[in-house]
Amino acid sequence: MTDKQKYYHLLGEVCEAMPSSAVDSAIRAGYGQEHKSASTRLHHVKQGKVASLPDLVALIRYSMPDYEIPAHLLPDEAAAAVATPLFH
């Protein structure tokens, strides 16, 4: 399964349960805070306009800490180790 497929599958699982404050929770926790466009980008990820699996995983982890993301829907470890993060 590609990261894009994982993104849409995971978004389908959490879209109704994700709180409306998910983006604010991630920004307050420091995710992407150094960039002006972080909030807009994360809103687009939450809405499905930008298919970024690492950003969706961050949104879920910051806003839904009790939700356990299925292992098969997480980004590949090998790819994550060499990938440049969106906000660095």
**Rounded to two decimals, what is the model's pTM?**
0.82
63 inside domain = yes
How many whole angstroms separate alpha carbon 76 and alpha carbon 88? Answer: 19
Residue pLDDT, tens place only, 29-76: 988 776 678 899 999 999 999 999 999 999 999 999 999 999 999 998
Residue given tokens 């409306």 in the structure block: 20
Structural domain count, the chain: 1
How many whole angstroms separate alpha carbon 34 and alpha carbon 1? Answer: 32
Show the domain range for 73: 3-82
61 inside domain = yes
DSSP structural state of residue 50: S
